[in-house]
């Protein structure tokens, strides 16, 4: 599979994938798109600044893709998001961010 979308490619490889977005409309639409690709992905509404649906140190890797980072308007917001991300990531876990 030559898929550059990290959610699809990791889910297709059998990894447990949890996807979140601040947009409830996007989260409502996403399960149908995943099912159409035969992918098992858990979806939830969450704000990147808090990641309240993720327990501390509950994920092995966290990927922020699409346009999440450019919506941050200040260095303080970027720092807050980085803190939220790092608290969700397990010790030794990986974080990747992509900006288009």
> Which residues touch 6 (CB under 8 Å, ≥6 apart)?
63, 65, 96, 98
90, part of any domain: yes
50, part of any domain: no
Structure tokens at 49: 């600044």
Token match 């450019």: residue? 70
94 vs 44, residue with greater confidence: 44
Structure tokens at 7: 């959610």
Structure tokens at 20: 């979140």
> Residue 35 above 80 pLDDT?
yes
Cα-Cα-Cα-Cα dihedral sign, residues 57, 58, 63, 65: negative
Instruction: Specify whether 2 is located in the same domain as 36.
Output: yes
Instruction: Specify whether 30 is located in the same domain as 65.
Output: no
**Domain of residue 5, residue span:** 1-45
74, part of any domain: yes
19, part of any domain: yes
Q: Could you report the per-residue pLDDT of 48-79, keeping only the tens digit for each?
A: 767 787 777 777 877 777 766 767 778 887 77
29, part of any domain: yes
57 conformational bin, left if phi > 0, alpha if psi -120 to 50, beta if neither? left
């Amino acid at each position: 599979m030559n898929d550059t979308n990290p959610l699809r490619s990791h889910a297709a490889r059998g990894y447990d994938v949890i996807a979140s977005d601040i947009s409830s409309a996007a989260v409502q639409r996403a399960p149908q798109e995943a099912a159409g690709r035969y992918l098992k992905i858990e979806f939830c509404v969450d704000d990147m600044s808090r990641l309240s649906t993720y327990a501390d140190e509950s994920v092995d890797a966290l990927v922020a893709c699409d346009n999440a980072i450019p919506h941050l308007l200040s260095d303080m917001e970027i720092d807050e998001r980085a803190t939220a991300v790092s608290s969700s990531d397990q010790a030794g876990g990986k974080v990747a961010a992509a900006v288009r």
